[in-house]
Amino acid sequence: MTFSEYMSEWLYSDDGYYATYKSIGKEGDFYTSVSSSKFFGGTIAKHIISLIDEGFLKEDSVICEIGAHHGYFLADIIEFIYTLRPKLLESLEFVIIERFDAMQEFQKNYLKESFGDAIKLTHYKSLKELKCKNAFFVANEIFDAFACELYFKGKTARVDDKGEIIFDIDDEWVSSKAQKYHKDRGEIARGYEEFALGMASSCEKFEFMSFDYGEMQARPDFSIRVYSKHEVIPFFDEKIKRDELFAKSDITYDVTFEHVKDAYEEAGVEFVELRAQMVALVNMGILELLEILKENVDEKIYKQELEKVKILIMPNFLGERFKMIRFRKN
């Protein structure tokens, strides 16, 4: 099978890594910005309100998270919208795009427990099912979870019956992408183009914001790796036991944001910016949210939340490594 088929089975088969509930954070295989601080979602909520105040979003817009994991990110966004502009919960519609039934059920239960009947929530299995006029789309660590092909000096990889990686496939599409992004080796993501077209056709006017690790230009080498119990294991490490890690741990790679940008522009969606997460969150008002907190809680709670926010924005934590990419269809 091709490597993208192998990776799809690893992550998205019925027994795949993302098919069922997995802990994220201290008890899981990795940390995310969502698991680090509620102020990550809170800052997105503040930005959504600013888009409504500017007139780009309407008060009855769809707020859609794609690949919501446990629903915590969307819940944090909703909680801060309620704190900052409670009236909006009466008019906004919340949507989650989630392919797995078990995860949908977990998300529904969690959001029901959190907000009862105070919000309108709808699930879809794909963007193709959603049709709306005005929306804000958000995703966290989604583009690194697209299945990819492995490419090395003109050849694309396959995985044989023994799990060995063999570079002997001639794939014109993969080779053209590798040439376009000046790669003689590394990962070429599958599906960005279809994903961008699906979003563009689902909504008349929207903003899309996503956070992920990577750079605008492609890395000059392989970045594919496995996360297991907070250990980072290079995929080509000779000691790696892939059969034991298969579907039981996360497999990921650095995003080439130029590829994401091209996919959206080809779909007729405008690229707005790529920023380090640190800069993006500060620009959207995370420090102002901390000031509001400081005025309303005791110093101990404020300092606890401040330490969590530092993980999001400090360069030596998530602030520089992670990027925010933003698009608009207007």
Q: Name the pLDDT band for 229 (thresholds 50, 70, 90).
A: confident
How do residues 48-66 score in pLDDT, each as one tens digit?
999 999 999 999 999 999 9
Would you state the pLDDT for residue 162? 87
> In this predicted structure, which of 29-38, 51-60, 71-80, 139-148 has the lowest mean pLDDT?
29-38
Q: Name the pLDDT band for 30 (thresholds 50, 70, 90).
A: very low
With a CB cutoff of 8 Å and minimum separation 6, the contacts of 108 are: 121, 123
Q: Name the pLDDT band for 140 (thresholds 50, 70, 90).
A: very high
CA pair distance 230, 260, nearest whole angstrom: 27
C-alpha 103 chain-centroid distance: 16
Compute the average pLDDT of residues 270-289.
98
pTM of structure: 0.94
Other CB atoms within a 10 A radius of the CB of residue 180 amount to 13
Domains of the chain: residue spans and CATH: 21-144+191-321 (3.40.50.12710)
Q: Name the pLDDT band for 29 (thresholds 50, 70, 90).
A: very low
Q: Name the pLDDT band for 266 (thresholds 50, 70, 90).
A: very high
Using CA atoms of 180, 185, 186, 191 in order, give the dihedral in degrees to the nearest 10: 40
Would you state the pLDDT for residue 31? 60
Q: What is the CB-side half-sphere exposure of residue 134 using CA atoms within 13 A?
A: 13
